[in-house]
Amino acid sequence: MLSSVHGVPFAILWLVWLAYWFFAALNVKRTQRRERIGSLFLNRGPLVIGALLLAFERQPLPWLSERFLPLSMVFYWIGLVMLATGLALAVWARRHLGRNWSGIVTVKQDHELIRSGPYGLVRHPIYTGLLLAILGTTVAIGEWRGLLAFALIAAGFVLKFKTEERFMSETFGEQYARYRAEVRSLVPFVI
């Protein structure tokens, strides 16, 4: 970051998002089926390590704090816009998903297949939004730790959404197969 003051908007946006995420989780449907503990640890590990890399400037390996982008207000503002846009997309998707949401891979009682709103653009818009937010944070930081964090978190999300895809396919059958054929997983018209 350019200075500790420049990190304040990033910290505020992430903390507001985290608070919303926590309170929204209080109003969800009962769980009917959940991912196994091994799967949970497999996809959570990279997420936690990535978050720690982003959160702490001091890193155990000196090269992680070296820059891959020049120190610039341009990259700072680009990163801040990416962060805000990504978090807004994640919140929009979370609100649209409603009571079907869960922080871990689950099937809820009376689970509904949501295909409207951001779910008409991509099947995993929360991950898309969070990856954009993390990439924005990485651009603003401009250090290798950000790229490593992005790669780890993306890997964790891919592992998690593969489990989600399996659960949704088993739950919704042909309806989900049609959805998969019509809507990309993370980036509209691409992936």
122, 184 contact by CB (below 8 A): yes
pLDDT tops 90 at residue 42: no
156, 43 contact by CB (below 8 A): yes
Output the average pLDDT for the chain: 92
Average pLDDT over residues 124-130: 97
Which residues are within 8 A (CB) of 179 and not within 5 positions of it... i.e. 6 or more apart? 113, 115, 123, 172
Residue labelled with tokens 């969070």: 130
Three-state DSSP class for 34? strand
Query: How confident is residue 1, by pLDDT bands cut at 50, 70 and 90?
Result: very low
Tell me what pLDDT residue 57 has. Answer: 86
Q: Which two tokens stand for residue 156?
A: 């964790």
**Is pLDDT larger for residue 34 or for residue 139?**
139
Tell me what pLDDT residue 3 has. Answer: 58
Lowest mean pLDDT among 11-15, 71-75, 102-106: 102-106
Residue labelled with tokens 């890399």: 53
Summarised one tens digit per residue, pLDDT across range 144-154 is 999 999 999 99
Structural domains in the chain plus CATH codes: 4-15+37-99+113-182 (1.20.120.1630)
Buried b (16+ CB within 10 A) or exposed e, 143-181: bbbbbbbbebbbebbebbbebbbebbeeebeeebeebee
Name the burial class of residue 121, with classes exposed (0-12), middle (13-18) and buried (19+) by CB atoms within 10 angstroms of its CB: middle
Tell me what pLDDT residue 130 has. Answer: 97
Question: What is the C-alpha to C-alpha distance for residues 64 and 146, in angstroms, rounded to an integer?
Answer: 8
